[in-house]
Amino acid sequence: MDGLTPAESRELDQRLQKRQVKEFMTVFGNLVDNCFTACVDDFTSKALSGRESGCISRCVLKSMSTQTRLGERFGELNAAMTAEMQRR
């Protein structure tokens, strides 16, 4: 967006930084919810089993790869959509 003064730019950067932290916490939360739900179902013990633990690790790795890949696709698609909307 054009027309932001340096002071306004700084304010915006600060807000975006805060937003990024909040978003990271959301991603983290979703990761825990998702991987716990998918991997943990044995409540005969209060400690994670080896199977559950391994599953969680793989879930984290796969989820991060998914985020990366979808992040790339989203960027491409969003740029295309924005261009199309401006064309209309």
Partner 1 sequence: MFGLGRPQPSSAEKIAAVENELKVVAEMHSRMVKICTLKCIDKTYREGELSKGESVCLDRCAAKFFEAHQKISDQLQKETQARGGGGFGM
Tell me which residues in 26-65 interact with partner 1 (CB under 8 A). 26-27, 30, 34-35, 38-39, 55, 57-59, 61-63, 65
Provide the 10 A C-beta neighbour count for residue 39: 19
**Residue pair 48/40 in contact by the 8 Å Cβ criterion:** yes
Cα angle: 24, vertex 68, 85; to 5 degrees = 90
Residues found near partner 1 in the complex (CB under 8 A): 1, 3-5, 7-8, 11-12, 15-16, 19, 23, 26-27, 30, 34-35, 38-39, 55, 57-59, 61-63, 65-67, 69-71, 73-74, 77-78, 80-81, 84
